[in-house]
Structure 1
Amino acid sequence: MNLIRAGRRDFPAPAGFLIDDDRRNEVAEYFADLTRPYNTAAGTELSGQSYGEMAKALIATVVPADEPVDLLVLAFSIHDMWPGRATATFLSHLCPGTPLSFALCDQGSAAPFTALRLIREHRPRRALLLAVEQAMLPYDSPAVLPKEHRGVALLCGNDDSAGSRIAGLAQHPDVAAPDVPALAAQALTELSAGHDDVRLVLGETLADAWPGAAEHTRAAAGQPMTGVWWQLADTLAESAGLVVIGDYDRDLRYLCLAAIQAR
């Protein structure tokens, strides 16, 4: 499986549908009902984003009309501001090819890695991975929110003549922070075997938990879902060679690394 094309965007403004007063009131009422049983009052600020709107823009960036997609996987952690919509199904009708689509959540920063593993195992002719995060919840929550609304799109395909080869993937569940350095080093050794030119990109949490890591690029802070994937596009464009990206979710204890052979 190859990575054919990558796209990324930040979305500084709130979701467009929140401009409509009626829709905004519906969303506010929904969250008020949702939080009332927990003695948590919903806030009045509604400045978050819609993954439907974000993904629509990303699809237009990386999927031409003449390159239909067979599988679409949406990976996220923080829910968006349109909770009543089945977003993956909605996106299927926006994406060329009307692909089979589903969403992955509740895995923290591991979700895009899981999505990539599922795409590799499914082996569609073309697949689209969308990793998205929005930075606002209209109620008090212990969840650590990202700093910005951001999204990354990765168009994958099984044509070995195009793009960068997805060379390997390692996912380890239930990893305590003290065990991260040894396990991450072992995974890096296995993924980079036979390669002299290896560029390492680490998410901020993995970089902190692995102080003895080899020379690496550190992804932007405060973007747990998109950080390493955002950086990947730049790293692949720099030169040929193997790129290994990795992240660690301290709360859910997932350690994930992926290797992409740039060419």
Structure 2
Amino acid sequence: MPTTPLRLARVITDPAGATGAGGRYTPALADYLTDLARLHGLRRRPDDFAGIARTTFTDLVRPLVTEVADAPTDLIVLAHVTPDAEPGWPASFLTGALPGDPLAFAVADQGVAAPFTALRIAAAYARADGLDRAVVVLLDQGTFLTAGPPPEVGAGLVALVLERDGTLGELSTRVVPGVPPPQARSVLASSLADFAGAVVTGSSLSPPPAASTGPQGPVGLPGTGLWRQLTDRLAGGGPVVLADYDPAARCLGICVVAPPPVAEPAP
């Protein structure tokens, strides 16, 4: 896997205020969402939205600005597994709020493989355009406007700040498409045949838990949960692999974070 020209400089998890409940839907937006639902055959009324306090992606990224505004940013790539809580423009908000007039993308519809694609986009632009800084923003939120019981998902943000002189590690990322579910673990194993270090996997690649009738665990964080472990894993000093698989998209994502080479002392 090719190494990204930009190294990992910081991992920011849930900046202050990022996961607090946002405001409620305005009457105008509730009317809009009701009409939108009707177009898709869903029976929703404006009153259905009156009691919902949602945290949008823009709510989540707003506190990130103060964390990364210390230097110009060239590129922003957002990645999310769940949809936003309302039609919004979090990428556009960041391009206007951060110094450097950054270019922005968003990656969706790849499930838990989306963060890996976001890192590959950042790497491709860094190679092509000689970028000095990119911020990859991973997002989760738990307000769903679809019919039926919503998934048990929480809200959260993890931002990976990539810079030329980042000291946390060099990144190598790969996305393998077209992997059938029964082969996901074997494809991962063959991809890591020569790797010696810690391997952290998502739930689709982990051994199934033992049957339990006990209480449910905490709400899930499909877009950020795996990446929240990165800081602690890097504290060990060795290379780390983060891997996840999305059965619906049939995509396997693999990211190797290796300690950067030690600079030789000047003669």
TM-score tier (shorter): 0.7 to 0.9
Match of 2:154, SS state, is coil
- Partners of 1:68 and 1:77 lie apart in 2 by 28
Match of 2:193, SS state, is helix
Identical pairs, percent: 30
Aligned CA RMSD, in angstroms, stands at: 2.4
Q: Deviations over 1:85-119 (max 9, x none)?
A: 33211210112222111211111111111010111
Alignment of 1:106-117 (within 5 A): 106-117=109-120
- Partners of 1:82 and 1:199 lie apart in 2 by 38
Match for residue 226 of structure 1 among 220, 224, 230: 224
Instruction: Report the CA distance between 1:245 and its aligned residue.
Output: 0.3
Instruction: Report the CA distance between 1:141 and its aligned residue.
Output: 5.7
Instruction: Report the CA distance between 1:39 and its aligned residue.
Output: 2.6
Q: Structure 1 residues 249 and 27 mapped into 2: Cα distance closer, same or farther (>3 Å)?
A: same
Q: What is residue 82 of structure 2 aligned with on the other side?
A: 78
Q: Are the equivalent residues in 2 in contact too, given 1:243–1:261 (CA < 8 A)?
A: yes
Letter in 2 for 1:86: W
- Partners of 2:38 and 2:255 lie apart in 1 by 41
Letter in 2 for 1:47: A
Q: Are the equivalent residues in 2 in contact too, given 1:14–1:47 (CA < 8 A)?
A: yes
Match of 1:207, SS state, is coil
Q: Are the equivalent residues in 2 in contact too, given 1:239–1:262 (CA < 8 A)?
A: no
Q: Are the equivalent residues in 2 in contact too, given 1:54–1:151 (CA < 8 A)?
A: yes
Q: What is residue 101 of structure 1 aligned with on the other side?
A: 104
Q: What is residue 65 of structure 2 aligned with on the other side?
A: 59
1:5 corresponds to 2:7: no
1:38 corresponds to 2:40: yes
Q: What is residue 129 of structure 1 aligned with on the other side?
A: 136
Letter in 2 for 1:173: P
Instruction: Report the CA distance between 1:137 and its aligned residue.
Output: 0.9
TM-score of the aligned structures, taking structure 2 as reference length: 0.81
- Partners of 1:167 and 1:182 lie apart in 2 by 22
Letter in 2 for 1:140: A
Q: What is residue 251 of structure 2 aligned with on the other side?
A: 254
- Partners of 1:166 and 1:114 lie apart in 2 by 16
Q: Deviations over 1:21-58 (max 9, x none)?
A: xx522221122111102331233342321111211212
- Partners of 1:207 and 1:221 lie apart in 2 by 18
Q: What is residue 148 of structure 1 aligned with on the other side?
A: 154
Q: Structure 1 residues 141 and 102 mapped into 2: Cα distance closer, same or farther (>3 Å)?
A: farther
The alignment of Structure 1 onto Structure 2 pairs a total of residues equal to 238
Q: Are the equivalent residues in 1 in contact too, given 2:154–2:219 (CA < 8 A)?
A: no
Match of 1:93, SS state, is helix
Q: Are the equivalent residues in 2 in contact too, given 1:248–1:254 (CA < 8 A)?
A: yes
Q: What is residue 172 of structure 1 aligned with on the other side?
A: 176
- Partners of 1:90 and 1:38 lie apart in 2 by 28
Q: Deviations over 1:219-263 (max 9, x none)?
A: x87211111111112222x22110100111122111111000146
- Partners of 2:94 and 2:169 lie apart in 1 by 26
Letter in 2 for 1:227: G
- Partners of 2:137 and 2:222 lie apart in 1 by 14
More helix by share: 1
TM-score of the aligned structures, taking structure 1 as reference length: 0.82
Q: Which has the larger radius of gyration?
A: 2
Q: What is residue 181 of structure 1 aligned with on the other side?
A: 185
- Partners of 1:153 and 1:78 lie apart in 2 by 17
Match of 2:135, SS state, is strand
Letter in 2 for 1:31: L
- Partners of 1:201 and 1:73 lie apart in 2 by 23
Match of 1:101, SS state, is strand
Instruction: Report the CA distance between 1:138 and its aligned residue.
Output: 2.6
Q: Any gaps of 5 or more consecutive residues in structure 2?
A: 1-5, 209-217, 261-267
1:92 corresponds to 2:95: yes
Q: Structure 1 residues 70 and 82 mapped into 2: Cα distance closer, same or farther (>3 Å)?
A: same
- Partners of 2:221 and 2:113 lie apart in 1 by 13
Q: Any gaps of 5 or more consecutive residues in structure 1?
A: 210-219
Match of 2:9, SS state, is strand
